[in-house]
């Protein structure tokens, strides 16, 4: 069969790497892909911001399955367009993806279905924010309602700061139209967990849990990023917790969406805070996480294409995934200045030596290839990933590989999975 993956980041490289192992796939495409992905799939040009461009690509390739990586094409309705034409596609419809593209919709949905989440207020003006703040204690979390590529959430230390951040969001200067509505939230404390499930609109099959590291600096300091690294182990979610999360969060979401007429198919990413009051939903993503997908797929033993097809065809079952009990980790190597402004086009050295470290796979997130050499082409450049029986070993191998890679301005966190290893 012919499979097309849409996207160009580390997540898509991991999807392509895993799909390529399937004996069922005769031709694998990725659009637009990147320098590293081009080693594993045929890369095709596309503008993922433009639905017509994606449909034209579908017309040209006629894939037996399309796997949508990032949220933007889902938000534009690529699944609706492909489904209408009878082209099998993995992911939620535009209406179902609203769980990600509108935080106010997600919060009200959670409340309607009595799924645990932080107390909140939805505000359409600075006056409404000031009034709502009287009901909150500092710190307060201020969120832009729409998609903001990880830049739409600020944890304000004081109510004054919360009001000024909200004003900045409303002005359009901070995150454009995504900030025309603002959600205030109670600030929760605890460990974060990325809990992903596969859904066919009715049934769900959980993936192994993972933890992202969103802040740019060691010890969770500095601004938020798209994710600087992630790890996955057996211990991150035990069987009892996994069942609880399936029955109290994932299933109620999928059943609630179906009851509301927006069947949720694809991967549902539940961003959770494990608080003293129990797990609470921080956010939903309507797609695989990046970089969580890299360590998650490194632990997947069964065929990914079978599982994705089960979602499209409406036959998901708990046994769709077979997982290794090994631990895995991904360390993101970023361009100097990221998540602020950064330069691209820096030559990357040491990739072969890094890839030769036992148990290591270097996923490309933002690279291009020219005359046999790789150059940086994005903020997050590489996802250096490793798998081993023990988390400690996997982390050691990932960092050993990172030390072999060099490019101007490179930076990465030195403490990915550090807290898990101290426990």
Count CB-CB contacts under 10 A for residue 289.
21
Of 187-195, 200-208, 336-344, 393-401: span binding ligand AMP (CB under 6 A): 187-195
Please list every residue from 9 through 68 that binds ligand AMP, using CB under 6 A. none
Site string for ligand GLY, 178-217 (x = CB under 6 A): ----------------------------------x-----
Cα–Cα dist 100/265, whole Å: 13
**CA distance linking residue 272 with residue 256, whole number of Å:** 18
Which one of 214, 364, 369, 397 is in contact with ligand AMP (CB under 6 A)?
214
Closer Cβ to ligand GLY, 230 or 354, answer by number: 230
DSSP 8-class letter at 7: E
Q: What is the DSSP string of 246-298?
A: IIIIIHHHHHHHHHTT---EEEEEEEEEEETTEEEEEEEESS--TTTHHHHHH
Q: Is 150 or 345 the residue whose CB approaches ligand AMP more closely?
A: 150
Give the span between the Cα atoms of 215 and 212, in whole angstroms: 9
Closer to ligand GLY by CB, 329 or 357: give it: 329
The reply on whether position 185 binds ligand AMP by CB under 6 A is yes
Long-range contact list for 171-177, CB < 8 A, 24+ apart? 174/144, 175/144, 175/146, 175/148, 175/151, 177/146
* 227 interface partner picked from ligand GLY, ligand AMP, none, CB below 5 to 8 A per type: ligand GLY
275 vs 324 by CB, closer to ligand AMP:
275
Binding status of residue 187 toward ligand AMP by CB under 6 A = yes
**97 Cβ neighbours under 8 A, 6+ residues apart:** 71, 74, 75, 79, 91, 286
If the CB atoms of residues 30 and 156 are measured against ligand AMP, the closer one turns out to be 156
* Cβ closest to ligand GLY, residue 227 vs residue 378: 227
| Rounded Cα–Cα distance for residues 195 and 246 (Å) | 9
Nearest-angstrom CA–CA distance, 129 and 122: 8
Q: Bridge partners of 123?
A: 182
Question: Per CB under 6 A, does 271 bind ligand AMP?
Answer: yes
- Point out which span in 78-86, 88-96, 284-292, 354-362 binds ligand GLY (CB under 6 A): 284-292
* Contact mark string toward ligand GLY, 235..274, x via CB under 6 A: ----------------------------------------
Interface with ligand GLY (CB under 6 A), residue total 6
**CA atoms of 138 and 65, how far apart (whole Å):** 47
Helix (H) or strand (E) holding 222: strand 221-224
Choice between 281 and 351, CB closer to ligand GLY: 281
Q: Of 47, 64, 108, 192, which lies in the binding site for ligand AMP, with binding defined by CB under 6 A? A: 192
Identity of the residue, 145 or 303, whose beta carbon is nearer to ligand AMP in the bound complex? 145
- Return phi, psi of residue 104, to 5°: -70, -40
Residue 331 touches ligand AMP, criterion: CB under 6 A = no
378 binds ligand GLY (CB under 6 A): no
- Strand order, beta sheet including 2-7: 42-43, 27-32, 2-7, 65-68, 89-90
- Residues in contact with ligand GLY by CB under 6 A are 212, 227, 285, 289-290, 292
């Amino acid at each position: 069969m012919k499979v097309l993956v849409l996207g160009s980041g580390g997540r898509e490289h991991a999807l392509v790497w895993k799909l390529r192992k399937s004996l069922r796939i005769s031709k694998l495409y990725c659009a637009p892909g990147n320098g590293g992905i081009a080693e594993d799939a045929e890369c095709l040009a596309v503008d993922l911001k433009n639905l017509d461009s994606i449909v034209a690509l579908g017309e040209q390739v006629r894939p037996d399955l399309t796997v949508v990586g990032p949220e933007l094409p889902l938000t534009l309705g690529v699944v609706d367009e492909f489904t209408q034409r009878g082209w099998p596609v993995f992911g939620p419809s535009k209406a179902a993806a609203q769980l990600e593209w509108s935080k106010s919709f997600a919060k009200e949905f959670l409340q309607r279905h009595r799924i645990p989440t932080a107390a909140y207020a939805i505000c359409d003006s600075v006056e409404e924010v000031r009034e709502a703040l009287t009901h909150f204690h500092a710190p307060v979390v201020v969120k832009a309602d729409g998609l903001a590529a990880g830049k739409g959430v600020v944890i304000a230390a004081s109510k004054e700061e919360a009001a000024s951040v909200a004003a900045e969001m409303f002005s359009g200067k901070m995150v454009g139209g995504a900030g025309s509505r603002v959600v205030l939230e109670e600030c929760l404390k605890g460990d974060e967990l990325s809990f992903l499930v596969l859904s066919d609109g009715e049934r769900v099959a959980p993936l192994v849990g993972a933890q992202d590291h969103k802040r740019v600096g060691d010890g969770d300091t500095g601004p938020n990023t798209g994710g600087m690294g992630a790890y996955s182990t057996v211990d991150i979610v035990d069987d009892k917790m996994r069942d609880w999360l399936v029955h109290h969060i994932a299933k109620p979401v999928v059943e609630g969406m179906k009851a509301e007429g927006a069947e949720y198919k694809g991967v549902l990413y539940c961003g959770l805070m494990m608080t003293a009051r129990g797990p609470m939903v921080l956010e939903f993503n309507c797609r695989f996480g990046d970089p969580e997908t890299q360590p998650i797929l490194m632990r997947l033993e069964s065929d990914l294409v079978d599982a994705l097809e089960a979602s499209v065809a409406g036959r998901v079952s708990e046994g769709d995934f077979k997982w290794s009990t090994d631990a895995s980790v991904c360390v993101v190597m970023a361009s100097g200045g990221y998540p602020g402004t950064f330069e691209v086009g820096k030559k990357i050295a040491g990739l072969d030596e890094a890839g030769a470290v036992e148990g290591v796979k270097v996923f490309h997130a933002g690279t291009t290839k020219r005359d046999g050499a790789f150059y940086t082409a994005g903020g997050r450049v590489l996802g250096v990933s490793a798998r081993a029986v023990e988390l400690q070993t996997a982390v050691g191998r990932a960092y050993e590989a990172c030390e072999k890679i060099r490019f101007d301005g490179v930076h990465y966190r030195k403490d990915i999975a550090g807290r898990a290893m101290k426990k």
